[in-house]
Amino acid sequence: MGVNRRRVGLALGGGGVRGMAHVGVLHVLEQEKIPVDCIAGTSVGSFVGAAYAAGVRGDRLLKLAQEVQWRHIARLVWPRHGFVSFSRMESYITRFMGDLTFDDLEIPYAAVTADLTTGEPVVLKEGRVAPAVRASCSIPGVVTPVRLNGRLLVDGGIVNNLPISVVRDLGADLVIAVALGVPPADPPKGPFGIGIAAIEFLIIHAADDPATADAYIPIPVWGLGSVVRISMRQRLIALGRQAAEQALPAIKAALAESGLKAG
């Protein structure tokens, strides 16, 4: 790596099971030898981003995506603060990548969370990685919050679901952003569909403007099923690959404009 090479960062958005698409995107970037110098992730983006930053890549990352089940990361609890606990997620993360701190990671990484008391975004870049990822993934009202560093933390998707600015703060000169969800052309139907669509739009607007990224990769999925159904994993990985391949000309053009090239 040349000392004058400009730094490339990834912003990985949240979206539950849709995060499988991140794996497809990363697989294409690896195949094309596109450098990644830092990562920021929200919710499932923090999960996939942490694995990549820890060196879980290529076939290992694909294997992780193909094997993980809800039972590995979640368990039902008495609904005092949420219906589900992600305490198993910490153990799972520790098993596949080690009980690492942020300083142990191969590349700089940040997890985006929200303070449930103040509503402020909280970007985690220090301490142990596993609880930071758990906090970033803890959907308020559904998953129990995480008390960390004196704060009660929940899913960062309510404050910044596409952390482009966070990647810039990590030192990226060029940012590739991956958003998990594209609104369909047709309006939603029925009260349930309308409600889910409203939540989706709120999350989209609780994000950095995609136009501030140098390359933008939207994954064309929508609806509750794509958020929770593990059975969609192969389709989502394939959609991530396809979207990344379609974005390659724009990515390579951005790299060239910055004086970089793939490989």
- DSSP secondary structure letter of residue 101: B
**Token pair in block for residue 111:** 């997890």
Note if 208 is an active site residue: no
Active site residue 138: no
As a dihedral over the C-alpha atoms of residue 238, residue 239, residue 240, residue 241, rounded to 10 degrees, the angle is: 50
3-state secondary structure at position 167: helix
CB 252 within 8 A of CB 215: no
Q: Please count the other Cβ atoms lying within 10 Å of the Cβ belonging to residue 188.
A: 17
The 10 Å CB-count burial string (b at 16+, else e) for 108-142 is: bbbbbbbbbeeeebbbbeeebbbbbbbbbbbbbee
How many CB atoms are closer than 10 A to CB 236?
A: 25
Set 37, 43, 85, 226: catalytic member: 43
| Nearest CA-CA partner of 206 in 120, 108, 90, 105 | 120
Among residues 37, 136, 138, 155, the one annotated as catalytic is 155
Which residues are annotated as catalytic?
Answer: 43, 155
